[in-house]
Structure 1
């Protein structure tokens, strides 16, 4: 075995700078982090002062390089530590691992077309988490840019997210630091989901739920078992205090059915006939048909919409409001039935008293949502017209080529984006995606009004390649009114939200920053 002196010389030579040798990668760890060495190094490592030191401003990259090129050179004090750690390494294992990494890397570079895409159960679903600090914007930007820059795919050919696309830290930690998502088993994903569910349950179990913490946790999606109670809390329907919730539910449900008893018979009066007739016509046109066309569901929706219209005479009933009932109803009823597909919920097995409570909860939560966007549905719908104008201005800044292409072919934003604002993208996305989208909307400040604008901008630019390929007014408009999202899932929505958050971060507090 080599002597300690020889071992010292080896480590010195290994870490000295040689002209023409490979330069260190800024931001990397050198020597590379090794869990086997970590314990030994950690014990003897000197304490690092916690007081931040203000760095000297560097004017050129050359100065920066000269100041930092020796940042990882091993000093005399480190030689023995590294030599001691090296004794615990098995040389054969190290060499075999190195050869395998080099071999895999060369195969990936030489034969990218031969790699098989992992199956659906192996794809890693990303969490589009809102960064808590400006520096975290890099995470969101890297996710969104990697998504928008990749070649256009068919709806069913989703490319699994790779590690180079900057997965959120929580996903990496939950998966034990696995470097290749394609090798993940379904059990790893299940552990991650179970861990998230446990966090929600612990937060909800306390005597007073921290709503701010609940919003942060909900931004990247809410687990199905706790989604009903979480939506009720985030919408402001239920109080944060656990002891007050039963009495609040009982009081609000009783209040809703008092409205039914007092107002619902007036649907046949001449003054309300037009409103009720329009509601009755619109409900069968809603989606999903498997849910809406069930007689019990139609009756529930008619009552909810009619009572809301009677109690809000400033706007009354407007087409588009009917779509906003469905997500709440489906989420609340899924608490009482086993439904794998939210588009095919069957209410026939739900007891009448449970259905009554779900109806009241849906009414109040929908009312809370509409309170924040009621100017969308007043006379001439000024809220929607203003938001469509804002969307046009935003797209002209973030993607001038798409904006100019639409303008050259005389496609006006009102012709396709009016429905996006009126129905909150419900007609553009499958119901399962709408529910996931609303998880984030309810955790964002003014999510259904303010943040929705950035989601629409990200949604439009998501199709830039297809838009730029269309050279005809009619084809362009048909495409924008029938976007291929039927096979979208949570991954697509998470990437959309990440891109929207990047836009909000860049534009929300500086509306004139990019004006010419």
Structure 2
């Protein structure tokens, strides 16, 4: 929906008045954000920091909170990225195999053992972040604020250095295809557009790689799971494209904590042992099926008749918060509403249900193969139509 100039001006003023107040009313903020956050002047990034409980509602405490969190993140980089056997002098980055702790040391406390174990996780992260949002060039571009620890260490903490990419052989999880995912084995040549930057510079995908690596290190019970790159991508993009350089400088640290908070809410989606639990992904798919039955019995019966279960199309929708079904600008708009939802993922169910209902004519006449293909390749559609239908299903007000 295109807002008139006067309406847009009024909405922006509402946001600015609220965000500049000494004590931000989160209930009012959620109401405003549910209908979309204006892109201008980094308002979305600021609103997401509040909605994801990174910034407190009391304005005067922001400076202390940000300083403390950003310093903590700097310590994480220094302490968690282990580089055993590397000389710290300015002239070289060489391995000294005469050290007591050497690469063949089998002691589980060995830094080398930690290094090799970390690299197993890093390999998957590196593959995933190199193909993040390929439709836009943002993640291939250089950040204006490369990590200072990287610069000071002459590049030795740049994680991509630890993964050889002369030829990358990987199982690519394609966005479209039959079944939950379609996996195609392919040979990918050495990175071209996603090639690392020169020393002293970093591409945005390298920054995302470091955030995900540190998250995996700090959450060993969960670690890194493929798909987390699709969750962090829109958050980092919103923060790192902020026109305010003072906020953009700390996009990495701020993104890490917001991503961590969000994962605290959706981590059950990524834990296989909880798949069948009510809080797991199977429980979410069951909720979607029940909502569809209530909202459009005819479509639900047709899918039941075809034995076309939610597992065949909605696994990715729900797990990745629809980040793979729509262009990035639409994903940002969807997430405004998701993050503003006090119960958070109730509205995700309504959005997914609205997507199905908006295809009802095709679904009622299609057979199993055509319907699966349609749902797995959700057609281009005005996102406001989808959200308005979702709000209607949930008995909510959207504008």
TM-score by shorter chain over 0.5: yes
8 Å CA contact retained: 1:314, 1:378 = no
Larger RCO, structures 1/2 (Cα 8 Å, 6+ apart): 2
Match of 2:5 in 1: 190
Match of 1:497 in 2: 387
CA deviation vs aligned residue, 1:120-145 (integer Å, no higher than 9, x gap): xxxx537xxxxxxxxxxxxxxxxxxx
CA deviation vs aligned residue, 1:343-385 (integer Å, no higher than 9, x gap): xxxxxxx8xx865511111111111111111111123452111
* Residue 271 in structure 1 maps to residue 117 in structure 2: yes
The runs of 5 or more residues in structure 2 that have no matched partner are 84-111, 142-195, 197-202
Match of 1:455 in 2: 351
Greater percentage in helix: 1
Query: Could you say if the C-alpha distance between residues 450 and 310 of structure 1 is closer, same or farther in structure 2, counting changes exceeding 3 Å?
Result: farther
For residues 247-396 of structure 1, the aligned pairs below 5 Å read: 247-265=64-82, 269-289=115-135, 290-294=137-141, 295=196, 296-336=203-243, 356-382=249-275, 383-396=280-293
* Residue 201 in structure 1 maps to residue 16 in structure 2: yes
8 Å CA contact retained: 1:220, 1:494 = no
CA deviation vs aligned residue, 1:440-498 (integer Å, no higher than 9, x gap): 11211132x23211211111111111222322x3222222111112xx4xxx3333233
Query: Could you say if the C-alpha distance between residues 206 and 356 of structure 1 is closer, same or farther in structure 2, counting changes exceeding 3 Å?
Result: closer
Please give the secondary structure, in 1, of the residue aligned with 2:262.
Answer: helix
Greater percentage in strand: 2
For residues 79-478 of structure 1, the aligned pairs below 5 Å read: 125=2, 189-224=4-39, 225=41, 226-265=43-82, 269-289=115-135, 290-294=137-141, 295=196, 296-336=203-243, 356-382=249-275, 383-447=280-344, 449-471=345-367, 473-478=368-373
Give the distance between the partners of 2:18 and 2:341, measured in 1 at CA: 18
8 Å CA contact retained: 1:315, 1:379 = no
TM-score (norm 2): 0.70
8 Å CA contact retained: 2:37, 2:336 = yes
Match of 1:98 in 2: none
TM-score (norm 1): 0.55
Give the distance between the partners of 1:273 and 1:330, measured in 2 at CA: 26
User: Which one has a bigger Cα radius of gyration?
Assistant: 1
Q: CA deviation at 1:193?
A: 0.8
Give the distance between the partners of 2:78 and 2:247, measured in 1 at CA: 19
Q: CA deviation at 1:407?
A: 2.7
Please give the secondary structure, in 2, of the residue aligned with 1:315.
Answer: coil
The runs of 5 or more residues in structure 1 that have no matched partner are 1-123, 127-188, 338-349, 507-516
CA deviation vs aligned residue, 1:401-431 (integer Å, no higher than 9, x gap): 2222223333221111000011111111111
Query: Could you say if the C-alpha distance between residues 355 and 229 of structure 1 is closer, same or farther in structure 2, counting changes exceeding 3 Å?
Result: closer
Q: CA deviation at 1:314?
A: 2.5
Match of 1:63 in 2: none
8 Å CA contact retained: 2:351, 2:387 = yes
